[in-house]
Structure 1
Amino acid sequence: MDTIDAIKSRRSIKSFKNHEITKDEIDQILQCAILSPTSYNIQNWRFVIVTEQKLKDEMAQLSYGQKQVSEASLVIVLCADLKAWEKNPERYWKNVSEESRNYLVNGIKQAYSGNPELEKDQAIRSCGIAAQTIMLAAKSIGYDSCPMEGFDYDKVGKLINLPDDHIVTMMVVIGKSAKDPAPRGGQLPLSDVVFENSF
């Protein structure tokens, strides 16, 4: 599917058919996800994929009973490693010259060291970008999706054994829509949201 068509046809789906997604399809979506940009290429996102029905049902309960979590073919919990920047950062730039690599690694350390606010802000930015990539990749191979923030983050974290230096940022559920979505609620015109050079 053309990228523009995927963007225009992507909707947040709340009801899914019973459908089993294949491992190859999951891998295809995740191979796209890891191409999402991150600050200094630290690749701080971590993806917990959930296909086991019992676990999806538990997550649905932690999502205030939202049925799309248990009905989905795949639930992706987007987490972030807050300390990714200091875990062998040379590996993020292994394909560049040693001089460039040293310069970039030094920049990473200067930016993130002693800056927990930046760690968290970049984690959320990185996962937000990856979530959009995931949804568009899913749409391009015939799947629908729904981004989700309505769930108990702490309890979902415990359920997936989230490490102490990670956070849960959001979830994306993926599957085959059980019915056509309702018309869009209404998009603001460009004139309301676009400003040239300044407000």
Structure 2
Amino acid sequence: MSTQVEQQQDFFKVVHERHSVRYYDPAVKISKQELEEILQEATLAPSSSNLQPWRFLVIDDQDLKGKLLPIAYNQQQVVDASAVIAVLGDMNWYQEGEKIYSKSVEAGYMSEDVKKQMMSTVENGYHHMDEARKKKIVHIDGGLISMQLMLVARAKGYDTVPMGGYDAAKFNEMFQIPAHYENIMLIALGKAAKPGHPTVRLSVDEVTHWNSMK
């Protein structure tokens, strides 16, 4: 069964209705076009210097999802969800600076002078940054886009679950992930067969300090 859900929802409703779903209707197949639309909206997420280090591998072939299943410790959502999206981080992401900033100039969002300043930051900063700091940036930006992707999916009437429980080394080998890509997470995406169960949260008072951590 193929489905395309077009919904405009109140943002706060989307936030409150998003739950991690682990049981999916295997009959629901999200089209490539709609997956691309979800990814397009997700890429509006912020990133360090707008350099967008995220990369995606969309796995919607059933045979490949079957091969992914043991790598993901036999979590059934891998095969029942319409797709599994691997969110990856390109450790050479800053090399796209010239392309990104040139497009910004063409679009009228940035002057040539600002582009030169930004490129100077890229060349003098990111190029010489140590690996630990690079990984931190890539993982922060990867987390930002992952959350945005899940909210976009929920706004379209779909469900997701972020997955950190998988063998990254075997995943990289199976799917021929380039060595300079970091694993951020897998996100199963589809239509819930069972709703995600409600969860509790610590109160704002329990997690927040004002002006000092004392």
User: What is the match of residue 207 of structure 2?
Assistant: 193
Contact kept? 1:83, 1:119, Cα under 8 Å: no
Q: How does 1:53-68 map to 2 (within 5 A)?
A: 53-68=62-77
| Structure 1 position 113, deviation (Å) | 2.2
Moved more, 110-119 or 147-156: 110-119
What per-residue deviation string (whole Å, max 9, x for no partner) do you get for residues 30-87 of structure 1? 11121111111111100100100111111121011110111110110001110111x2
Q: Percent identity?
A: 29
Q: How does 1:120-131 map to 2 (within 5 A)?
A: 120-131=135-146
Letter in 2 for 1:137: V
Structure 2 residue runs of 5 or longer lacking an equivalent are 1-8, 105-109
Q: Does 1:14 align with 2:22?
A: yes
Q: How does 1:1-199 map to 2 (within 5 A)?
A: 1-18=9-26, 19-85=28-94, 87-94=95-102, 95=104, 96-114=110-128, 115-184=130-199, 186-199=200-213
| Structure 1 position 181, deviation (Å) | 2.4
1:113 is paired with a residue whose SS is helix
| Structure 1 position 179, deviation (Å) | 1.1
Contact kept? 2:54, 2:88, Cα under 8 Å: yes
| Structure 1 position 187, deviation (Å) | 0.9
Letter in 2 for 1:192: E
TM-score, with length taken from structure 2: 0.88
| Structure 1 position 88, deviation (Å) | 4.3
Please give the root-mean-square deviation of Cα atoms over the aligned residues, in Å: 1.1
Contact kept? 1:44, 1:123, Cα under 8 Å: yes
TM-score, with length taken from structure 1: 0.95
2:177 is paired with a residue whose SS is coil
- CA distance in 2: counterparts of 1:53 and 1:81, whole angstroms: 26
What per-residue deviation string (whole Å, max 9, x for no partner) do you get for residues 1-46 of structure 1? 1111111110011110021001221011111121111111111100
- CA distance in 1: counterparts of 2:48 and 2:198, whole angstroms: 36
Letter in 1 for 2:91: L
Contact kept? 2:158, 2:190, Cα under 8 Å: yes
Letter in 1 for 2:75: Q
| Structure 1 position 163, deviation (Å) | 1.1
